[in-house]
Amino acid sequence: MTTITILFHSRSGNTYQLVEKAAETAASAGADVRVRKVAELPDPMILDRKAYQELAEATADVPEATLDDLLWADAIMIGTPVHYGLPAPQILHFIDHTGPVAIPGRLMDKAVSAFASGSMPHAGQQAAILALHNAICHWGAVIVPNGSAAAVLHRPGNGAPYGTGTISRHEPRNVTDDNLGAIEYQTLRTLQIAGALRRGLEPEPRITMVSDERLRTFGLDI
């Protein structure tokens, strides 16, 4: 069974809508799913306090993310609102603290995919996703993009090959069916790549694989 952690921060519920759809899709595909919110910061920037409070109540039972949630998973999906063209500071704060598992190489070869929600069509959704790709490269993980081939990605409001992005128009929980279709596709693709990686890295009789011993000659702590 493929394991997947869906890691997120949300402010008015749009990113969380994508998370809910991703979790539902993964579970229906037979994956073992963990949904985890990153810890809040002491003084967060809040535009819609009513939506923020309603979301806090709706996600009160969602556990906070730990490094173990990353180690446990074959696949990781990261969802974020856009913050000045970057991922939310809460997401970056969590990523900044992954050093104890990332530097020794314990996140290598995991399939990781990112998605984002912004207020307008060009509010920085793609920039935020690509910024997360930078961190994924440092983890040594495998980035799973949406690509451009699937028909669902050509529906109105979709189209970015990097990952699913929504346009909230500053409205809470304003994710379209097209966006939900895109995140469904992205989730299935991430699970497919994670499963292929896991199977491909398992030693098989009569097949010569790149061994851990060979990789240790490069100074990897594995």
Which pLDDT value is given to residue 184? 94
Amino acid identity at 114: A
Lowest-confidence segment of 9-23, 38-52, 118-132, 169-183 by average pLDDT: 38-52
Which pLDDT value is given to residue 102? 96
Measure the N-to-C terminal CA separation of the chain; round to a whole number of Å.
Answer: 23
Does residue 113 surpass a pLDDT of 70?
yes
Give 37's DSSP letter.
Answer: E
Amino acid identity at 16: Y
Lowest-confidence segment of 21-35, 55-69, 199-213 by average pLDDT: 199-213
Q: What is the mean pLDDT of residues 145-150?
A: 93
- Of 80, 77, 53, 89, the closest CA to residue 168 belongs to 80
Does residue 221 surpass a pLDDT of 70?
no
Identify the band that residue 45 occupies on the pLDDT scale cut at 50, 70 and 90. confident
The whole-model pTM stands at 0.91
- Of 183, 188, 180, 175, the closest CA to residue 26 belongs to 188
Kind of pairing, strands 75-83 and 111-118? Answer: parallel
Which pLDDT value is given to residue 38? 97
Top pLDDT among 202 and 219 is at 202
Give the span between the Cα atoms of 98 and 68, in whole angstroms: 10
